[in-house]
Structure 1
Amino acid sequence: MDKTKLLDKAAKSGDERLILARVLDKLEQSRNRNIPTATDFLSPQERASAETLLRLAGARETEYVSLGGYEGAERRIFLFLPDWLDQESAAEQSPLRCLRAKYRPEYDLTHRDILGSLMGMGITREKTGDILAGKESCDLIVLEGVADFLLQSWDQAGRAKLSVSAIDVSELSAPEESCQEVRDTVMSLRLDAVASTGFKMARGKAASLIESGKVQVNWQECTKPDRLLAEGDTVSARGLGKFLVEAVGGVTKKGRTSIVLKRYG
Protein backbone atom coordinates (compact mmCIF):
# COMPACT_ATOMS: atom_id res chain seq x y z
CA MET A 1 0.00 0.00 0.00
CA ASP A 2 1.49 3.39 -0.99
CA LYS A 3 1.85 6.35 1.34
CA THR A 4 -1.24 8.20 0.10
CA LYS A 5 -3.50 5.19 0.61
CA LEU A 6 -2.03 4.54 4.07
CA LEU A 7 -2.77 8.10 5.13
CA ASP A 8 -6.26 7.95 3.60
CA LYS A 9 -7.05 4.96 5.81
CA ALA A 10 -5.47 6.17 9.07
CA ALA A 11 -5.97 9.95 9.16
CA LYS A 12 -9.25 11.49 10.30
CA SER A 13 -8.46 15.12 9.52
CA GLY A 14 -6.07 17.27 7.56
CA ASP A 15 -4.03 18.15 10.64
CA GLU A 16 -3.77 14.50 11.67
CA ARG A 17 -2.72 13.59 8.15
CA LEU A 18 0.30 15.91 8.43
CA ILE A 19 1.27 14.39 11.80
CA LEU A 20 0.94 10.83 10.51
CA ALA A 21 2.90 11.65 7.35
CA ARG A 22 5.81 12.72 9.57
CA VAL A 23 5.52 9.48 11.56
CA LEU A 24 5.69 7.47 8.34
CA ASP A 25 8.70 9.50 7.19
CA LYS A 26 10.54 8.62 10.41
CA LEU A 27 9.77 4.92 9.96
CA GLU A 28 11.07 4.98 6.39
CA GLN A 29 14.17 6.92 7.43
CA SER A 30 15.02 4.35 10.11
CA ARG A 31 14.52 1.48 7.68
CA ASN A 32 16.43 3.04 4.79
CA ARG A 33 19.40 4.37 6.76
CA ASN A 34 19.39 1.74 9.54
CA ILE A 35 19.52 4.38 12.28
CA PRO A 36 17.27 5.19 15.26
CA THR A 37 14.77 7.96 14.48
CA ALA A 38 12.17 9.62 16.67
CA THR A 39 8.87 11.39 16.15
CA ASP A 40 7.77 14.54 17.94
CA PHE A 41 5.58 14.14 21.01
CA LEU A 42 2.15 12.69 20.29
CA SER A 43 -1.07 12.96 22.27
CA PRO A 44 -2.81 9.69 23.20
CA GLN A 45 -5.26 10.12 20.32
CA GLU A 46 -2.49 10.88 17.82
CA ARG A 47 -0.55 7.89 19.11
CA ALA A 48 -3.53 5.58 18.61
CA SER A 49 -3.92 6.78 15.02
CA ALA A 50 -0.18 6.37 14.46
CA GLU A 51 -0.32 2.79 15.73
CA THR A 52 -3.10 2.07 13.23
CA LEU A 53 -0.94 3.58 10.49
CA LEU A 54 2.10 1.55 11.51
CA ARG A 55 0.12 -1.70 11.46
CA LEU A 56 -1.11 -0.88 7.96
CA ALA A 57 2.48 -0.10 6.94
CA GLY A 58 3.60 -3.52 8.15
CA ALA A 59 5.74 -2.23 11.04
CA ARG A 60 6.55 -4.94 13.56
CA GLU A 61 5.92 -4.32 17.26
CA THR A 62 9.65 -4.83 17.87
CA GLU A 63 10.47 -2.10 15.36
CA TYR A 64 9.62 0.81 17.65
CA VAL A 65 9.05 1.81 21.28
CA SER A 66 6.92 4.46 22.95
CA LEU A 67 8.80 6.79 25.35
CA GLY A 68 7.47 9.55 27.57
CA GLY A 69 10.04 9.91 30.33
CA TYR A 70 8.13 7.98 32.98
CA GLU A 71 5.54 5.24 33.27
CA GLY A 72 2.10 6.70 32.77
CA ALA A 73 3.27 9.69 30.72
CA GLU A 74 0.45 10.96 28.54
CA ARG A 75 2.47 12.65 25.80
CA ARG A 76 5.01 10.27 24.24
CA ILE A 77 7.25 9.81 21.21
CA PHE A 78 7.82 6.80 19.00
CA LEU A 79 11.47 5.79 18.67
CA PHE A 80 12.04 3.63 15.59
CA LEU A 81 14.76 1.02 15.96
CA PRO A 82 17.29 -0.16 13.38
CA ASP A 83 18.01 -3.88 13.26
CA TRP A 84 21.09 -3.49 15.51
CA LEU A 85 19.10 -1.93 18.39
CA ASP A 86 16.62 -3.87 20.51
CA GLN A 87 13.84 -2.49 22.70
CA GLU A 88 15.73 -3.21 25.93
CA SER A 89 18.56 -0.90 24.84
CA ALA A 90 16.36 1.75 23.25
CA ALA A 91 16.54 4.13 26.23
CA GLU A 92 20.25 4.66 25.47
CA GLN A 93 19.23 6.28 22.17
CA SER A 94 16.35 8.31 23.61
CA PRO A 95 16.18 11.96 22.45
CA LEU A 96 14.25 12.93 25.60
CA ARG A 97 15.74 15.37 28.09
CA CYS A 98 14.37 16.28 31.52
CA LEU A 99 14.46 19.79 32.97
CA ARG A 100 13.47 21.30 36.31
CA ALA A 101 12.44 24.95 36.61
CA LYS A 102 12.48 26.24 40.19
CA TYR A 103 10.59 29.34 41.36
CA ARG A 104 9.49 30.96 44.60
CA PRO A 105 6.52 29.11 46.15
CA GLU A 106 4.24 32.16 46.29
CA TYR A 107 3.97 32.08 42.48
CA ASP A 108 2.58 28.51 42.51
CA LEU A 109 2.75 28.22 38.70
CA THR A 110 0.22 26.03 36.91
CA HIS A 111 0.47 23.83 33.83
CA ARG A 112 -1.11 26.65 31.82
CA ASP A 113 1.44 29.20 33.10
CA ILE A 114 4.36 27.00 32.09
CA LEU A 115 2.91 26.09 28.70
CA GLY A 116 2.14 29.72 27.95
CA SER A 117 5.69 30.72 28.81
CA LEU A 118 7.16 28.04 26.55
CA MET A 119 4.92 28.94 23.63
CA GLY A 120 5.81 32.61 24.14
CA MET A 121 9.42 31.58 23.51
CA GLY A 122 8.47 29.86 20.28
CA ILE A 123 8.53 26.29 21.65
CA THR A 124 5.74 24.39 19.90
CA ARG A 125 3.63 21.84 21.77
CA GLU A 126 4.96 18.87 19.81
CA LYS A 127 8.47 19.54 21.17
CA THR A 128 7.37 19.16 24.80
CA GLY A 129 6.02 16.18 26.66
CA ASP A 130 4.23 16.16 30.01
CA ILE A 131 4.50 19.27 32.17
CA LEU A 132 4.63 18.37 35.87
CA ALA A 133 3.96 21.62 37.74
CA GLY A 134 4.34 21.73 41.53
CA LYS A 135 4.33 24.30 44.33
CA GLU A 136 7.98 25.34 44.00
CA SER A 137 9.17 23.75 40.77
CA CYS A 138 8.07 22.25 37.49
CA ASP A 139 9.57 19.23 35.77
CA LEU A 140 9.15 18.82 32.06
CA ILE A 141 10.25 16.44 29.35
CA VAL A 142 11.44 17.93 26.07
CA LEU A 143 13.22 16.84 22.92
CA GLU A 144 16.98 17.26 23.00
CA GLY A 145 16.79 19.85 20.22
CA VAL A 146 15.20 22.42 22.54
CA ALA A 147 16.77 21.45 25.88
CA ASP A 148 19.93 23.53 25.47
CA PHE A 149 17.92 26.55 24.32
CA LEU A 150 15.71 26.40 27.40
CA LEU A 151 18.69 25.92 29.73
CA GLN A 152 20.30 29.06 28.32
CA SER A 153 17.28 31.29 27.72
CA TRP A 154 14.27 30.31 29.83
CA ASP A 155 14.42 32.46 32.94
CA GLN A 156 10.88 33.67 33.50
CA ALA A 157 7.26 32.49 33.43
CA GLY A 158 4.83 35.34 33.93
CA ARG A 159 6.18 37.34 36.90
CA ALA A 160 8.08 34.35 38.30
CA LYS A 161 11.84 34.19 37.90
CA LEU A 162 13.05 30.70 36.99
CA SER A 163 16.17 28.73 37.76
CA VAL A 164 16.36 25.98 35.16
CA SER A 165 18.61 22.91 35.32
CA ALA A 166 18.90 19.51 33.66
CA ILE A 167 17.90 16.51 35.76
CA ASP A 168 18.11 12.78 35.26
CA VAL A 169 14.97 10.94 34.25
CA SER A 170 15.07 9.14 37.62
CA GLU A 171 14.64 12.51 39.37
CA LEU A 172 11.34 13.39 37.69
CA SER A 173 8.53 14.24 40.10
CA ALA A 174 6.12 11.94 38.32
CA PRO A 175 2.54 12.24 39.61
CA GLU A 176 0.85 9.35 41.35
CA GLU A 177 -2.30 8.78 39.37
CA SER A 178 -5.17 8.15 41.76
CA CYS A 179 -7.59 5.45 40.77
CA GLN A 180 -10.58 3.67 42.23
CA GLU A 181 -11.44 0.04 41.65
CA VAL A 182 -15.07 -0.51 40.72
CA ARG A 183 -16.73 -3.93 40.70
CA ASP A 184 -20.14 -4.36 39.16
CA THR A 185 -22.27 -6.49 36.88
CA VAL A 186 -23.68 -5.31 33.55
CA MET A 187 -26.32 -6.65 31.20
CA SER A 188 -23.74 -6.71 28.40
CA LEU A 189 -20.32 -5.34 27.50
CA ARG A 190 -21.89 -2.65 25.32
CA LEU A 191 -20.13 0.68 25.64
CA ASP A 192 -23.19 2.47 27.04
CA ALA A 193 -23.73 -0.20 29.70
CA VAL A 194 -20.13 -0.18 30.90
CA ALA A 195 -19.84 3.63 30.64
CA SER A 196 -22.92 3.88 32.85
CA THR A 197 -20.94 2.14 35.60
CA GLY A 198 -17.62 3.80 34.82
CA PHE A 199 -18.95 7.35 34.81
CA LYS A 200 -21.72 6.88 37.41
CA MET A 201 -24.66 7.86 35.26
CA ALA A 202 -27.86 6.41 33.85
CA ARG A 203 -27.42 4.22 30.80
CA GLY A 204 -29.55 6.53 28.66
CA LYS A 205 -27.40 9.51 29.60
CA ALA A 206 -24.27 7.49 28.81
CA ALA A 207 -25.69 6.61 25.38
CA SER A 208 -26.41 10.29 24.66
CA LEU A 209 -22.88 11.23 25.73
CA ILE A 210 -21.44 8.64 23.35
CA GLU A 211 -23.63 9.70 20.43
CA SER A 212 -22.57 13.33 20.94
CA GLY A 213 -18.94 12.39 20.15
CA LYS A 214 -17.56 13.09 23.63
CA VAL A 215 -16.40 9.53 24.36
CA GLN A 216 -13.24 7.80 23.16
CA VAL A 217 -12.37 4.11 23.24
CA ASN A 218 -8.63 3.52 23.27
CA TRP A 219 -8.21 7.23 22.42
CA GLN A 220 -10.34 6.97 19.28
CA GLU A 221 -13.73 8.71 19.10
CA CYS A 222 -16.63 6.27 19.24
CA THR A 223 -20.24 7.35 18.66
CA LYS A 224 -21.79 3.86 18.78
CA PRO A 225 -23.36 2.98 22.15
CA ASP A 226 -23.59 -0.69 21.12
CA ARG A 227 -19.86 -1.12 20.58
CA LEU A 228 -18.68 -4.14 22.57
CA LEU A 229 -15.78 -3.60 24.96
CA ALA A 230 -13.11 -6.10 25.95
CA GLU A 231 -10.62 -6.52 28.75
CA GLY A 232 -7.85 -3.93 28.45
CA ASP A 233 -9.94 -1.25 26.73
CA THR A 234 -9.66 2.33 27.97
CA VAL A 235 -12.72 4.59 27.85
CA SER A 236 -12.43 8.36 28.33
CA ALA A 237 -14.93 11.21 28.24
CA ARG A 238 -14.36 14.95 28.19
CA GLY A 239 -14.60 16.37 31.68
CA LEU A 240 -15.28 12.99 33.27
CA GLY A 241 -11.88 11.31 33.27
CA LYS A 242 -11.29 7.78 32.10
CA PHE A 243 -11.53 4.15 33.15
CA LEU A 244 -9.82 0.91 32.22
CA VAL A 245 -11.68 -2.36 31.78
CA GLU A 246 -9.30 -4.29 33.98
CA ALA A 247 -11.12 -7.61 34.07
CA VAL A 248 -14.18 -9.31 32.61
CA GLY A 249 -15.52 -12.17 34.68
CA GLY A 250 -18.18 -14.80 34.34
CA VAL A 251 -21.93 -14.55 33.91
CA THR A 252 -24.21 -14.55 36.95
CA LYS A 253 -27.34 -16.66 37.33
CA LYS A 254 -29.34 -13.63 36.20
CA GLY A 255 -27.33 -13.40 32.98
CA ARG A 256 -25.26 -10.36 33.95
CA THR A 257 -21.51 -10.12 33.29
CA SER A 258 -19.17 -9.20 36.13
CA ILE A 259 -16.57 -6.51 35.43
CA VAL A 260 -13.75 -4.79 37.26
CA LEU A 261 -12.94 -1.21 36.26
CA LYS A 262 -10.10 1.09 37.26
CA ARG A 263 -11.52 4.60 37.30
CA TYR A 264 -9.18 7.61 37.05
CA GLY A 265 -9.84 11.30 37.50
Structure 2
Amino acid sequence: MDKTKLLDRAAKSGEERLILARVLDRLEQAQSRNIPAATDFLSPQERASAEVLLRLAGVGETEYVSMGGYEGAERRILLFLPDWMDIEAAAEQSPLRCLRAKYRPEYDLGHRDLLGSLMGMGVTREKTGDILAGKESCDLIVLEGVAEFLLQSWDQAGRAKLSVSAISAEELSVPEERFEEVRDTVMSLRLDAIAATGFKMARGKAASLIESGRVQVNWMECTKPDRLLAEGDTVSARGVGRFTMTEIGGVTRKGRTSIVVRRSV
Protein backbone atom coordinates (compact mmCIF):
# COMPACT_ATOMS: atom_id res chain seq x y z
CA MET A 1 0.00 0.00 0.00
CA ASP A 2 1.47 3.40 -0.95
CA LYS A 3 1.87 6.32 1.44
CA THR A 4 -1.21 8.23 0.28
CA LYS A 5 -3.49 5.22 0.67
CA LEU A 6 -2.06 4.45 4.11
CA LEU A 7 -2.74 7.99 5.29
CA ASP A 8 -6.23 7.91 3.76
CA ARG A 9 -7.04 4.84 5.83
CA ALA A 10 -5.37 5.82 9.10
CA ALA A 11 -5.82 9.59 9.44
CA LYS A 12 -9.08 11.00 10.78
CA SER A 13 -8.22 14.69 10.32
CA GLY A 14 -5.86 16.96 8.45
CA GLU A 15 -3.76 17.53 11.58
CA GLU A 16 -3.48 13.81 12.26
CA ARG A 17 -2.52 13.22 8.64
CA LEU A 18 0.47 15.57 9.01
CA ILE A 19 1.62 13.80 12.18
CA LEU A 20 1.29 10.35 10.61
CA ALA A 21 3.07 11.51 7.45
CA ARG A 22 6.06 12.51 9.58
CA VAL A 23 5.97 9.08 11.23
CA LEU A 24 6.17 7.44 7.80
CA ASP A 25 9.03 9.75 6.85
CA ARG A 26 11.05 8.48 9.83
CA LEU A 27 10.21 4.89 8.97
CA GLU A 28 11.38 5.41 5.39
CA GLN A 29 14.57 7.07 6.65
CA ALA A 30 15.41 4.08 8.84
CA GLN A 31 14.66 1.61 6.06
CA SER A 32 16.39 3.42 3.19
CA ARG A 33 19.53 4.51 5.07
CA ASN A 34 19.62 1.58 7.52
CA ILE A 35 20.06 3.87 10.51
CA PRO A 36 17.95 4.46 13.65
CA ALA A 37 15.38 7.22 13.12
CA ALA A 38 13.08 8.73 15.74
CA THR A 39 9.79 10.56 15.58
CA ASP A 40 9.01 13.61 17.66
CA PHE A 41 7.14 13.06 20.92
CA LEU A 42 3.63 11.72 20.45
CA SER A 43 0.66 11.96 22.79
CA PRO A 44 -1.00 8.66 23.76
CA GLN A 45 -3.71 9.24 21.15
CA GLU A 46 -1.19 10.12 18.44
CA ARG A 47 0.88 7.06 19.31
CA ALA A 48 -2.17 4.80 19.12
CA SER A 49 -2.96 6.19 15.65
CA ALA A 50 0.66 5.72 14.59
CA GLU A 51 0.62 2.10 15.71
CA VAL A 52 -2.53 1.47 13.65
CA LEU A 53 -0.77 3.05 10.67
CA LEU A 54 2.31 0.88 11.15
CA ARG A 55 0.22 -2.30 11.32
CA LEU A 56 -1.44 -1.30 8.05
CA ALA A 57 2.03 -0.78 6.58
CA GLY A 58 3.09 -4.28 7.67
CA VAL A 59 5.67 -2.99 10.16
CA GLY A 60 6.31 -5.54 12.92
CA GLU A 61 6.53 -4.65 16.61
CA THR A 62 10.22 -5.66 16.64
CA GLU A 63 11.04 -2.99 14.05
CA TYR A 64 10.57 -0.06 16.41
CA VAL A 65 10.55 0.77 20.10
CA SER A 66 8.52 3.26 22.11
CA MET A 67 10.52 5.49 24.49
CA GLY A 68 9.46 8.13 27.00
CA GLY A 69 12.37 8.35 29.41
CA TYR A 70 10.76 6.27 32.16
CA GLU A 71 8.25 3.47 32.58
CA GLY A 72 4.74 4.85 32.46
CA ALA A 73 5.62 8.00 30.49
CA GLU A 74 2.62 9.32 28.56
CA ARG A 75 4.41 11.28 25.85
CA ARG A 76 6.76 9.00 23.91
CA ILE A 77 8.77 8.79 20.71
CA LEU A 78 8.93 5.87 18.29
CA LEU A 79 12.48 4.87 17.40
CA PHE A 80 12.65 2.86 14.16
CA LEU A 81 15.44 0.29 14.15
CA PRO A 82 17.77 -0.65 11.30
CA ASP A 83 18.15 -4.37 10.66
CA TRP A 84 21.47 -4.49 12.54
CA MET A 85 20.05 -3.09 15.81
CA ASP A 86 18.01 -4.97 18.40
CA ILE A 87 15.77 -3.44 21.08
CA GLU A 88 18.42 -3.72 23.81
CA ALA A 89 20.96 -1.85 21.69
CA ALA A 90 18.34 0.78 20.91
CA ALA A 91 18.31 1.89 24.55
CA GLU A 92 21.95 2.93 24.17
CA GLN A 93 21.06 4.95 21.05
CA SER A 94 18.20 6.82 22.69
CA PRO A 95 17.83 10.40 21.41
CA LEU A 96 16.19 11.41 24.70
CA ARG A 97 17.81 13.62 27.31
CA CYS A 98 16.67 14.34 30.86
CA LEU A 99 16.94 17.77 32.48
CA ARG A 100 16.21 19.19 35.93
CA ALA A 101 15.22 22.82 36.45
CA LYS A 102 15.52 23.99 40.07
CA TYR A 103 13.73 27.03 41.47
CA ARG A 104 12.92 28.52 44.86
CA PRO A 105 10.04 26.65 46.54
CA GLU A 106 7.88 29.72 47.06
CA TYR A 107 7.26 29.91 43.31
CA ASP A 108 5.75 26.40 43.27
CA LEU A 109 5.66 26.25 39.48
CA GLY A 110 3.10 23.98 37.86
CA HIS A 111 2.95 22.13 34.55
CA ARG A 112 1.24 25.04 32.79
CA ASP A 113 3.83 27.58 33.99
CA LEU A 114 6.74 25.47 32.80
CA LEU A 115 5.19 24.52 29.46
CA GLY A 116 4.31 28.15 28.82
CA SER A 117 7.89 29.18 29.50
CA LEU A 118 9.24 26.56 27.10
CA MET A 119 6.83 27.52 24.33
CA GLY A 120 7.67 31.19 24.89
CA MET A 121 11.26 30.25 24.02
CA GLY A 122 10.12 28.62 20.80
CA VAL A 123 10.34 25.01 22.03
CA THR A 124 7.34 23.31 20.45
CA ARG A 125 5.32 20.68 22.30
CA GLU A 126 6.41 17.82 20.05
CA LYS A 127 10.04 18.36 21.15
CA THR A 128 9.27 17.78 24.83
CA GLY A 129 8.03 14.72 26.65
CA ASP A 130 6.47 14.55 30.10
CA ILE A 131 6.97 17.53 32.41
CA LEU A 132 7.34 16.31 35.99
CA ALA A 133 6.77 19.36 38.17
CA GLY A 134 7.57 19.34 41.89
CA LYS A 135 7.72 21.84 44.73
CA GLU A 136 11.31 22.93 44.17
CA SER A 137 12.23 21.50 40.79
CA CYS A 138 10.92 20.14 37.51
CA ASP A 139 12.27 17.18 35.59
CA LEU A 140 11.57 16.93 31.89
CA ILE A 141 12.47 14.73 28.97
CA VAL A 142 13.42 16.35 25.67
CA LEU A 143 14.96 15.42 22.33
CA GLU A 144 18.73 15.70 22.30
CA GLY A 145 18.63 18.55 19.79
CA VAL A 146 16.74 20.67 22.34
CA ALA A 147 18.70 19.74 25.47
CA GLU A 148 21.79 21.88 24.81
CA PHE A 149 19.67 24.92 23.96
CA LEU A 150 17.77 24.64 27.25
CA LEU A 151 20.94 24.06 29.27
CA GLN A 152 22.36 27.30 27.92
CA SER A 153 19.25 29.48 27.62
CA TRP A 154 16.39 28.38 29.92
CA ASP A 155 16.95 30.50 33.01
CA GLN A 156 13.49 31.80 33.90
CA ALA A 157 9.83 30.72 34.09
CA GLY A 158 7.57 33.61 34.94
CA ARG A 159 9.24 35.41 37.84
CA ALA A 160 11.14 32.30 38.95
CA LYS A 161 14.86 32.02 38.22
CA LEU A 162 15.87 28.56 37.02
CA SER A 163 19.03 26.53 37.41
CA VAL A 164 19.03 23.84 34.72
CA SER A 165 21.27 20.76 34.65
CA ALA A 166 21.42 17.42 32.86
CA ILE A 167 20.47 14.31 34.83
CA SER A 168 20.26 10.61 34.03
CA ALA A 169 16.98 8.78 33.44
CA GLU A 170 17.54 6.96 36.75
CA GLU A 171 17.51 10.32 38.57
CA LEU A 172 14.09 11.39 37.27
CA SER A 173 11.70 12.28 40.07
CA VAL A 174 8.43 10.73 38.93
CA PRO A 175 5.41 11.77 41.02
CA GLU A 176 3.50 8.87 42.50
CA GLU A 177 0.30 8.27 40.60
CA ARG A 178 -2.79 8.85 42.69
CA PHE A 179 -5.78 6.62 42.06
CA GLU A 180 -8.68 4.92 43.77
CA GLU A 181 -9.89 1.37 43.24
CA VAL A 182 -13.60 0.89 42.68
CA ARG A 183 -15.39 -2.46 42.86
CA ASP A 184 -18.81 -2.89 41.34
CA THR A 185 -21.07 -5.30 39.48
CA VAL A 186 -22.48 -4.61 36.02
CA MET A 187 -25.10 -6.25 33.84
CA SER A 188 -22.65 -6.40 30.92
CA LEU A 189 -19.13 -5.36 29.95
CA ARG A 190 -20.46 -2.65 27.64
CA LEU A 191 -18.55 0.59 27.60
CA ASP A 192 -21.48 2.67 28.83
CA ALA A 193 -22.09 0.37 31.79
CA ILE A 194 -18.48 0.40 32.92
CA ALA A 195 -18.03 4.12 32.19
CA ALA A 196 -20.95 4.77 34.54
CA THR A 197 -18.91 3.10 37.31
CA GLY A 198 -15.58 4.60 36.30
CA PHE A 199 -16.87 8.16 35.96
CA LYS A 200 -19.46 8.00 38.78
CA MET A 201 -22.44 8.93 36.63
CA ALA A 202 -25.73 7.48 35.44
CA ARG A 203 -25.51 4.99 32.58
CA GLY A 204 -27.61 7.20 30.31
CA LYS A 205 -25.30 10.13 30.87
CA ALA A 206 -22.30 7.90 30.18
CA ALA A 207 -23.89 6.76 26.90
CA SER A 208 -24.48 10.38 25.85
CA LEU A 209 -20.88 11.25 26.69
CA ILE A 210 -19.64 8.39 24.52
CA GLU A 211 -21.89 9.28 21.58
CA SER A 212 -20.68 12.90 21.74
CA GLY A 213 -17.17 11.79 20.73
CA ARG A 214 -15.50 12.79 24.00
CA VAL A 215 -14.53 9.26 25.08
CA GLN A 216 -11.47 7.28 24.09
CA VAL A 217 -10.73 3.60 24.63
CA ASN A 218 -7.01 2.87 24.69
CA TRP A 219 -6.47 6.42 23.36
CA MET A 220 -8.68 5.91 20.30
CA GLU A 221 -12.03 7.70 19.97
CA CYS A 222 -15.02 5.43 20.52
CA THR A 223 -18.61 6.56 19.94
CA LYS A 224 -20.26 3.16 20.46
CA PRO A 225 -21.78 2.69 23.94
CA ASP A 226 -22.16 -1.06 23.29
CA ARG A 227 -18.44 -1.70 22.74
CA LEU A 228 -17.29 -4.54 25.02
CA LEU A 229 -14.30 -3.88 27.28
CA ALA A 230 -11.58 -6.26 28.42
CA GLU A 231 -9.09 -6.33 31.27
CA GLY A 232 -6.38 -3.72 30.80
CA ASP A 233 -8.50 -1.36 28.68
CA THR A 234 -8.08 2.32 29.54
CA VAL A 235 -11.03 4.68 29.15
CA SER A 236 -10.65 8.47 29.19
CA ALA A 237 -13.08 11.33 28.66
CA ARG A 238 -12.14 14.94 27.99
CA GLY A 239 -12.91 17.07 30.99
CA VAL A 240 -14.05 14.08 33.07
CA GLY A 241 -11.13 11.78 33.86
CA ARG A 242 -9.60 8.39 33.17
CA PHE A 243 -9.80 4.85 34.50
CA THR A 244 -8.44 1.40 33.70
CA MET A 245 -10.33 -1.88 33.89
CA THR A 246 -8.01 -3.89 36.11
CA GLU A 247 -10.09 -6.98 36.84
CA ILE A 248 -13.10 -8.86 35.54
CA GLY A 249 -14.39 -11.35 38.08
CA GLY A 250 -17.14 -13.93 38.25
CA VAL A 251 -20.87 -13.68 37.73
CA THR A 252 -23.18 -13.22 40.71
CA ARG A 253 -26.35 -15.22 41.32
CA LYS A 254 -28.28 -12.30 39.83
CA GLY A 255 -26.30 -12.54 36.59
CA ARG A 256 -24.14 -9.46 37.15
CA THR A 257 -20.39 -9.45 36.46
CA SER A 258 -18.01 -8.18 39.13
CA ILE A 259 -15.40 -5.67 37.99
CA VAL A 260 -12.58 -3.58 39.45
CA VAL A 261 -11.57 -0.26 37.91
CA ARG A 262 -8.64 1.97 38.89
CA ARG A 263 -9.61 5.61 38.60
CA SER A 264 -7.09 8.44 38.49
CA VAL A 265 -7.73 11.13 41.11
TM-score of the pair, normalised by structure 2: 0.97
The residue that corresponds to 1:207 in the other structure is 207
* Amino acid in structure 1 at the alignment position of 2:150: L
Match of 2:77 in 1: 77
| Equivalent position amino acid for 1:78 in 2 | L
Number of the residue aligned with 1:141: 141
Residue type at the aligned position of 1:132:
L
d(CA) in 1 for partners of 2:77, 2:156: 27
Q: In the alignment, what sits opposite 2:163?
A: 163
Alignment of 1:177-188 (within 5 A): 177-188=177-188
CA distance in 1, matches of 2:79, 2:250: 39
CA distance in 2, matches of 1:256, 1:12: 37
Q: 1:68: Cα distance to partner?
A: 0.6
- What's the CA shift string for 1:40-63, capped at 9, x where partnerless? 000011011001001001110111
Aligned equivalents of 1:109, 1:185: Cα separation in 2: 41
What is the aligned partner in structure 2 of residue 239 from structure 1?
239
Matches of 1:176 and 1:90, distance apart in 2: 27
Q: What amino acid maps onto 1:252 in structure 2?
A: T
Q: How do residues 1-265 of structure 1 correspond to structure 2 at under 5 angstroms?
A: 1-265=1-265
Greater shift, 247-256 or 106-115, is seen at 247-256
RMSD over aligned Cα atoms: 1.1
Q: Equivalent residue of 2:115, what SS? A: helix
1:199-237 CA-partner distances (Å, limit 9, x unpaired): 111111111111122111111111111111122211001
Mean alpha-carbon deviation: is it higher for 238-247 or for 193-202? 238-247
User: Across the two proteins, how many residue pairs are aligned to each other?
Assistant: 265
Q: Which amino acid aligns with 1:230?
A: A
Q: Which amino acid letter does the alignment assign opposite residue 86 of structure 1? A: D
Q: SS of the counterpart of 1:106?
A: helix
| Aligned partner letter, 1:254 | K
For structure 2, the residue ranges without an aligned partner over 5 or more in a row are none
- What is the DSSP-based 3-state SS (H/G/I as helix, E as strand, rest coil) of the residue aligned with 2:181? strand
Structure 1 residues without counterparts, runs of 5 or longer: none
Give the secondary-structure state (helix, strand or coil) at the position aligned to 1:123: coil
* Secondary structure in 1 matching 2:101: strand
Amino acid at match of 1:146: V
What is the Cα deviation at residue 33 of structure 1? 1.5
3-state SS in 2 of match to 1:116 = helix
Q: Normalising by the residue count of structure 1, what TM-score does the alignment of the two structures yield?
A: 0.97
